Amino acid sequence: MKKRIVLIACTTLSIVYSYAQNEISKTLEIDTKKSELKWSGEYAFYFGGHNGTISFEEGYFIKNDDVISGGEFIIDMTSIVCNDIDDEEANEGLIDHLKNEDFFNVEKFKTAKLVITSVEYHDNTRIKVYANLTIKNITLPINFQAEVDYEKQQMTTKFKIDRQRWGIDYNSKLRDGAIADGIGFEVTLSL
């Protein structure tokens, strides 16, 4: 009889704990059509560069106790677009170059991934995000400042990475015409 009571008590506690966890922790899917990832790259020794967009394949935030605590976002590297070249042939040439082995090698690495590992809140809307960024199957930690707008249900941020850390080292050693090592990102994640 005691074993049965202990078993019932353990089962009840486990169900209550599981229910409480589900109430506390929620997964919030992003709207990939409203979410936006802009990229920019510049030349190292003279003014100019290129910019464009890349689409999100999917993604979600993890929300605990009404605050964002994590998330995972898959980026479709095959969707890379350049926005600053009007000439169609030149635009296609740059996009093909960005997709080949010199840069992102999208035939082999079709997606990139950002996984939020922790979040520090400065106040209700300003946060510091710690994450792991995977590009070309290389995963490295990054961190950046972001803002959360609960009314619009979105998070926005701007940050740069050193592309060489992810094995994107095309033309980085040349002096004339060299491409800067920093790649800029402007991100809007919307629910």
pLDDT in tens, 17-47: 444 444 578 999 999 999 999 999 887 777 8
- Tell me if 9 is assigned to some domain: no
Instruction: Write out the two tokens for 14.
Output: 């486990």
Structural domain boundaries enclosing 57: 25-190
Q: Does residue 7 fall inside a structural domain?
A: no
- Residue 12, domain member (yes or no): no
CB 163 within 8 A of CB 181: yes
Q: What is the CATH number of the domain that holds 164?
A: 2.40.128.110
How does pLDDT run across 40-92, given as a tens digit for each residue? 988 777 788 889 999 999 999 999 988 899 999 999 999 999 998 888 888 89
Number of domains in the chain: 1
Residue 11 lies in a domain: no
> Is 8 inside a domain boundary?
no
What pTM, to 2 d.p., does this model score?
Answer: 0.81
Residues forming beta bridges with residue 67, ordered by sequence position: 64
What is residue 163's DSSP assignment?
G
